[in-house]
Amino acid sequence: EVCRLSPLWDNLPWFAAMAVLIGCSAFFSASEAALFCLRTNDRKQLASGNQSQQLADRLLQDPERLLSAVLFWNLVVNILYFSIVSIIGLRLDQSGQANPSLIVGFATSALLFIIFFSEMLPKSLAVLRPQPLASALSIPLALTIRLVDPIMPTFRTVMLLSQRLLWPGFAKEPYLRISDLERAIEVSRRDAALIEQERRVLRHIVSLSDVNVQEFMRPRKQFKQFV
């Protein structure tokens, strides 16, 4: 029994490093879910709260910067994690004391651990209590974002070039100005071609042209749907 466990004990420092990386990934996953799950009322409360709460609200004022940094750090952590998994797998294989089923079981367990403990569990908890978690995690999250701020422009450029390389052709949209839609609504009103409810819906559609895209970058737990 001792002989069977000795290859695992020899890699104990690597297992500790894996646990630390799972914790780091869980931190970024929970931060992302908590911040982007905040409603407008939650953000107003944070903006008038203490220093960490105000910091959480300021992070959400630039969601592209926030999301890019979180995705970058999660990518780095995951690369390091699976690199360590590969190292442990090679060490177990080279030791000659571990059978193939143990190595396969370890690799499978490592994958399931990072999926559950660094993605599913932290995000589920963050969605349940987004405001307290956003406040608690805002300060360390802001520090990690500042660390990667100098390389973020390069990171975004690479992402943009990759998108252009993979999807080079975009169909040109038909040219239609917002004023044309507004004029169509006014003409239809004079001709009594649309009922009041339909005109109101069209006005709301036209008003979307003045809405910032950042206002839509908020996952919502509940939607009102009309079919």
pLDDT digits (tens, 9 = 90+) for 147-199: 999 988 887 788 778 777 776 655 555 565 666 666 766 665 555 555 666 66
Token pair of 171, please? Answer: 């169909």
pLDDT digits (tens, 9 = 90+) for 40-73: 888 888 888 899 999 999 999 988 889 889 999 9
What's residue 226's pLDDT?
Answer: 47
Q: Which residue blocks in 120-221 are alpha helix, DSSP H?
A: 121-128, 130-148, 152-166, 178-191, 196-207
Cβ 27 vs Cβ 140: under 8 Å:
yes
Q: For the chain, what percentages of helix, strand and coil (3-state, to nearest 5) are there?
A: 80, 0, 20
Cβ 7 vs Cβ 95: under 8 Å:
yes
**Domain boundaries, given as residue ranges, for the chain:** 2-166, 171-227
Q: What is the pTM of this model?
A: 0.69
Cβ 8 vs Cβ 99: under 8 Å:
no
CA distance 58 to 47: 8
CB neighbourhood size of 98 (10 A): 19
The single-letter code of the amino acid at 33 is: A
